Structure 1
Amino acid sequence: MTSDAIKQFVEDARAVSVEETAKVMKLTFKRSGVEHPQPCPNCGGTDTFAFNTSKNKWNCRAGGIGGNDGIGMAAHCHDLDVRTRKGLLEACEIVLGRSMPDEAERESEEERAARLERLEQRRLQNEADAAARADTQADYREKERNKARGIYRPLDDLRTSRLKHGRLYLGRRCAGYPDATWLRVGADVTYWHGQDERGGPVALYSGPAMVAPFIGPDLDLIGCHITWIDLDRPPKYRPIFYGLTTEGAKAGLVPWVFGDPAASAEDLSDGLYELLPSKKMRGSKKGGLIPIAGHPDEQRWVGGEGIENGVAFGEWEGWRADTFYFAAGDLGNLAGPAEASSRFAHPALKKLDAKGVLRPAMVQGPVPKRDQDADDAMWVGDQVDELVLLADGDSERVMTAAAMARARARHARSGRLIPIVWPQTGCDFSKMAAEAEAGT
């Protein structure tokens, strides 16, 4: 028969929220937000376990279990079975941080020792698994970086190569090219896409391309950015590639091969084929940047997302000797992640939610994420006192403006000027340069 003291003890534990239980258990809280992912204290992993302080819920994907009370969360983390009287009371004791009533049924010393030993063995195994995953990821990252180095290093400098494709490409897109050795050009750079029947990569195309390095703060090459060139395809002067989608394969269609007719508009709209990018990155880009001209030791830096905009702007201002010109590769690498609380509804764009209801599209806000890592966005030298950020005028304006404001906030330092320069509406700097060169 359950005493009144034990009943009250359990009721007191049921009244404790998931958030308070997490504090008692010293689980990890993120600096902001309501969702707090982390390794499961019982199952391990990296972000398999999470609790939500707004919804008062917890979940472990590795264990396939979750709930909306602190007792269940404590029981899972401490390997207790709440279906038993002893397991329930032990979990309540953890949640409340006080001893259960004297008359309560407890674990024996042998049971407790066995449970703690199980947890310790799992902890050790989880640590070993995490270390193995880290080693595997590090090996893969280094292999990818070596592939990027193997692509970039044998190529000729774009400005002096007998292969004129790179100079002609930048000349037509940006009205010129830098007198620098960062950018290179190759005659037969392979475009890999998809897998063959044995799981090996498929060479979709091989042809001329401009190749730029991604470098880290130590100036070591960590990746490369490849732009394939087709001088017969204005205004972008890049080849067009198509890829067979999963839906297309199910429909019995065959992979597109370079030289085949273009995929039809109907097949593209039905999702049977997809338009592939004519630019790719190999190795690592996270936290790195693409040098275009000048040296990173300079105190004035100028750059934005893409290489072409940086080249066009450099041409316009005459490639200043006191300036390092760069590209981030993409907007995410330029600005870094946003603080979740700064998200806002787009004033015009809408999208269908999971229930088919049209709702405003949410935009990553202008406030940088507070607990981000140093390499969550491109690096900027500490000596830089002027960082000119180039916006892309032909991208969606609201999202781009929020990202540019976030980039300025993220890279801000005392005494550092960070102007944001916008091209004409609906243009980017390379388009402006090409039109000016053509006299249009």
Structure 2
Amino acid sequence: MTDDVITLFVEDARAVSVEDAAKRLGLKFPGKLHEHAQPCPHCGGTDTFSFNTKKNAWNCRAGGVGGRDGIGMVAHCEDLDVHRREKFLEACSIVLDRPIPEEAERESEDERAARRKRLEERRRQNEAESEARAISEADYREKERNKARGIYRPLAPLRTSSLPYGRFYLGRRCAGYPDATWLRVGADVTYWHGQDERGAPIALYSGPAIVAPFIGPDLELIGCHITWIDLDRAPKYRPLLYGLTKEGIAAGLVPWPLGDRPPSAEDLEAGLYEQLATKKMRGTKKGGLIPIAGDPQARRWVGGEGIENGVAFGEWEGWRDDSFYFAAGDLGNLSGPAEASSRFAHPVLKKPDAKGVLKPVMIAGPMPKRDQEADDAMWVGDQVDELVLLGDGDSERVMTAAAMARARARHARPGRLIPIVWPQAGCDFSKMAAEAEAGT
């Protein structure tokens, strides 16, 4: 009977949405739409953690983990190992905001029948809601993929377009660009952010951008990656954009107009405005990768996180004819999720716990998660016998090194060589290329 009480407790917890779980945790809702990025309560960082109330999903890029349930999100944020029963039940308790059931008292036959009926109804409800979410998510993904195709397909290839922005951008950042047609360029690509009073998305900005495809194993376009360009803003050559947060709206502030002075340091510190990323992905990256140059049927692949790093490295080695050059959307896309048991304490970084005691920051380990899905990370062709992975020297080194080791382990096959190539400390390959081009 106690087992049934616990089972109902767990089923109730499974029914709690990611949005409601975020409220239980006291997470921020800084976005005006569905995506809410912020520092990870467990791993730290600036915008490494996010949850999406429409997709009922969460993700931590620093930890290399994510999921589609409130229990997993709570467990990650509160450093609870869901593989241990007592920790899993503690996560359920936090999600439900009620204590774990104690030893149940003796029930009457009627009480037992009523409880078992509630349990069966809860299970059926959870199954129905899960099926409905899956259908809704599939519809949403297809709509997003169609939007990505609509952005990418009308644009001209970067290398032959009459628009010079993309070639200038890569020339300055990477000392060159590929003689390939994967990357495309547009003069007026819209940056959508926030909603107006009627709930319609706001076109915050429109300007030149490089648009790259995400492709799956069948080479079909499943998404696109957009990099906006401002050639007057060295050294990154990307525009400076700000968005009004939920707190800013509550304070009665107006959206930041493009071309105006940046918001004050006080307003940024108070979370009334936020600096926006100038790279976005549409459609889906799940299981996909960004092609840069070469034939995906090549036996040698070269790539890592970021288009610029892949281009810079390709320029450095002369775009070998026997190689396919690619980029991953981020480290999670490159390496996939980590096995929980491989997590380890950062040797230096610490953060205060709920009592203010400094504890080591826990890092997603080098072992891939067991029984993960094939599309939990980018695909690699079966014919590939050399996979050159490019590290990023200006990201946090321990977390990045663990992710790169995890990528190597995940993509390992008998006879496949997987070297990891690192740039100089404190640099990425694009910065090294730009400095070499400038003679510094």
TM-score (norm: length of structure 1): 0.79
Which of 121-130 and 337-346 deviates more? 121-130
Contact 1:44 1:126 in 2 (8 A): no
Q: 2-side partners of 1:235 and 1:48: how far apart?
A: 40
Aligned twin of 1:187: 187
Q: 2-side partners of 1:54 and 1:121: how far apart?
A: 25
**1:309-347 C-alpha deviation (Å, 9 max, x unpaired):** 000000000001111100011111111111111111111
Aligned twin of 2:325: 325
Aligned twin of 2:108: 85
Q: 2-side partners of 1:230 and 1:141: how far apart?
A: 30
Which of 125-134 and 218-227 deviates more? 125-134
Q: 2-side partners of 1:191 and 1:265: how far apart?
A: 24
Alignment of 1:259-338 (within 5 A): 259-338=259-338
Q: CA deviation at 1:213?
A: 0.3
Matched to 2:108, the amino acid is: R
Q: 1-side partners of 2:348 and 2:386: how far apart?
A: 34
TM-score (norm: length of structure 2): 0.79
Cα 1:360/1:65, change in 2 over 3 Å: closer
Q: Does 1:53 find its partner at 2:69?
A: no
SS state at 1:202 partner: strand
Contact 1:57 1:68 in 2 (8 A): no
Q: 2-side partners of 1:424 and 1:53: how far apart?
A: 44
Q: 1-side partners of 2:290 and 2:309: how far apart?
A: 12
Contact 1:40 1:47 in 2 (8 A): no
Q: Does 1:210 find its partner at 2:210?
A: yes
Q: Does 1:134 find its partner at 2:134?
A: yes
Contact 1:48 1:60 in 2 (8 A): no
Which of 340-349 and 245-254 deviates more? 245-254
Q: 2-side partners of 1:353 and 1:374: how far apart?
A: 35
Alignment of 1:40-439 (within 5 A): 47=69, 52-55=84-87, 57=89, 59=92, 67-68=100-101, 84-86=107-109, 124-439=124-439
Matched to 2:376, the amino acid is: D
Aligned twin of 1:93: none
Q: Give the superposed CA RMSD.
A: 3.0
Q: 1-side partners of 2:176 and 2:305: how far apart?
A: 18
Q: 2-side partners of 1:244 and 1:62: how far apart?
A: 29
Q: CA deviation at 1:362?
A: 1.2
Q: 2-side partners of 1:173 and 1:213: how far apart?
A: 20
Contact 1:214 1:224 in 2 (8 A): yes
Larger Rg: 1
Q: 2-side partners of 1:270 and 1:306: how far apart?
A: 31
Q: 2-side partners of 1:119 and 1:406: how far apart?
A: 40
Q: CA deviation at 1:123?
A: 5.1
Q: CA deviation at 1:244?
A: 1.4
Q: CA deviation at 1:128?
A: 3.6
Alignment of 1:27-42 (within 5 A): none
SS state at 1:187 partner: strand
Contact 1:42 1:123 in 2 (8 A): no
Q: 1-side partners of 2:304 and 2:220: how far apart?
A: 21
Q: CA deviation at 1:85?
A: 2.7
SS state at 1:314 partner: helix
**1:101-151 C-alpha deviation (Å, 9 max, x unpaired):** xxxxxx7xxx89xx66x7666655544433222111111110000000000
SS state at 1:224 partner: strand
Contact 1:42 1:119 in 2 (8 A): no
Matched to 2:359, the amino acid is: R
Contact 2:93 2:100 in 1 (8 A): no
Q: 2-side partners of 1:146 and 1:292: how far apart?
A: 21
Cα 1:337/1:200, change in 2 over 3 Å: same
Q: CA deviation at 1:258?
A: 0.9
Percent identity of the aligned residues?
73
Contact 1:263 1:273 in 2 (8 A): yes
Q: 1-side partners of 2:13 and 2:236: how far apart?
A: 52
- Aligned residue pairs total 379
Contact 2:170 2:308 in 1 (8 A): yes
Contact 2:16 2:96 in 1 (8 A): no
SS state at 2:359 partner: strand
The higher relative CO (CA closer than 8 Å, separation ≥ 6) is in: 2
SS state at 2:286 partner: coil
Cα 1:182/1:62, change in 2 over 3 Å: same
Q: CA deviation at 1:295?
A: 1.6
Which of 121-130 and 234-243 deviates more? 121-130
**1:256-294 C-alpha deviation (Å, 9 max, x unpaired):** 111111122232223221110010001101111000001
Matched to 2:274, the amino acid is: E
Structure 1 gaps of 5+ residues are 1-12, 28-36, 73-81, 91-106
Q: 1-side partners of 2:332 and 2:229: how far apart?
A: 25
Contact 2:176 2:315 in 1 (8 A): yes
Contact 2:192 2:205 in 1 (8 A): yes
**1:79-114 C-alpha deviation (Å, 9 max, x unpaired):** xxx6633367x6xxxxxxxxxxxxxxxx7xxx89xx
Structure 2 gaps of 5+ residues are 18-67, 72-81
Runs (4+) of structure 1 exceeding 3 A deviation are 37-52, 54-66, 118-129
SS state at 1:67 partner: coil
